[in-house]
Amino acid sequence: MEAYVALEGGHVVEARGRVSGSTRGELVFTTAYTGYEESLTDPSYEEQVLTFSYPLIGNYGVREERFESERVHPNAVVARELTDEVVEWLDEEDTPAVDHLDTRDLVTDIREGGAMKCGIAVGEDVTEQDALDELDACKGMSEHTEIGEQVSVDEHEHHEGDGGVDASVTLIDCGAKGSIVDSLNARGADVDVLPYDATVEDVESYDTDVLFISNGPGDPANFEPTIELVDHYVGEVPLAGICLGQQIVAEALGGTTAKMDFGHRGVNQPVMDTRTKQVVMTTQNHGYTVDEPGEKLNVTQFNVNDDTPEGLENDELDIITRQYHPEANPGPNDSLDFFDDVLGMTDSSQTAVPADD
């Protein structure tokens, strides 16, 4: 099949079509060389076009137990080479896919020019103009302020812990990866998952020892109900957050956030702790960052590459957040103890036993 990728600036890249369809979105890349199943099912990639910098995607098959959610989230997939098994999966998900193009060149363009909008057209009779038409439509789109509805649960879900700690975590789902729930359950905590626009009354229906704000796609400003919820509970219950969750907590406490040039996406981001000076490797997937944390939050970890905040804390208010993904999947397990620290803020922390992840 024919395939074309139209980039901002007017450049059109010809490729091999693997799954037909026309779509548009923000073109981003990940440097991860494993974990393509986890990346493709990560809700933080909602409405984006995901480019894999590693040349071969699919060389160890597709296994549902590795999925982070129930579906593929990127609007389209770009790779140097996709295996037939991955193509079959993407076809079942109606996700347009292309390969046989120079992804190194695309990644260089993104790094030099920043994340950019693109249009993609794949099919037997598509033309460059079809891809350019998709790009034009993408340029005309306003910022999607209701993206939370696309990635959040519709109603309450309860996930029973494996025993070991008598704690209940209320997870606000802004696009949560399944591994966050698994990591908390493995430490014995019960997890009640609520939609991103849950109200104070909704949260009060459950026994909440920790209010946990999940990862998710896009701009934290699109999650105003969650920001308001955090603002209400500051100082009332311990607060935790991952990725978008860190940004939401910062916004609620008077901080500011900003869009990054091309974000952090991959499994090799170095993060230093300001107290121990220890550097750990982390998994990340975000296009926004905390610009100023405000007066109530202390930066306890930062990215070695660009000094952006990777950890925020306030011991008096029982707040701990991370910009990266401590649950990994894919990625290194250097920071799994974050979940022990979260549960350590609960009244039952004396019974907590670190999980054997």
Contacts 24+ apart (CB under 8 A), 60-65: 60/34, 61/85, 62/37, 62/86, 62/89, 63/37
287 is in an annotated binding site: yes
Q: Are strands 21-30 and 116-123 parallel, antiparallel or unpaired?
A: antiparallel
The token pair that represents 310 in the structure block: 């990777």
268 is in an annotated binding site: no
Question: Catalytic annotation on 325?
Answer: yes
Cross-strand partners of 312:
299, 321
Indicate the Cα dihedral angle 85, 86, 92, 96, nearest 10°: -140
Burial class (CB in 10 A: 0-12, 13-18, 19+), 201: exposed
288 is in an annotated binding site: yes
Question: Catalytic annotation on 158?
Answer: no
Question: Catalytic annotation on 73?
Answer: no
Cross-strand partners of 190:
168
44 is in an annotated binding site: yes
Cβ neighbours of residue 330 closer than 8 Å, sequence gap 6 or more? 32, 34, 35, 38, 39, 267, 283
Cβ neighbours of residue 167 closer than 8 Å, sequence gap 6 or more? 161, 188, 189, 190, 209, 210, 343, 346, 348, 349, 352
Please tell me which residue in 8, 37, 251, 327 is annotated as part of the active site.
Answer: 327
Closest CA to 249 of 157, 328, 174, 144: 174
Closest CA to 47 of 179, 145, 186: 145
3-state class (DSSP) for residue 145: coil
Closest CA to 174 of 260, 247, 258: 247
**Which DSSP string do the residues of 58-78 spell out, in sequence order?**
-TT---GGG-SSSS--SSEEE
Pairwise CA distance, residues 131 & 123, whole Å:
11
Pairwise CA distance, residues 213 & 216, whole Å:
9
247 is in an annotated binding site: yes
Pairwise CA distance, residues 10 & 118, whole Å:
10
Please tell me which residue in 243, 251, 286, 313 is annotated as part of the active site.
Answer: 243
Please enumerate, by residue number, every residue annotated as part of a binding site for L-glutamine.
Answer: 44, 216, 218, 244, 247, 285, 287-288
Catalytic site positions = 243, 325, 327
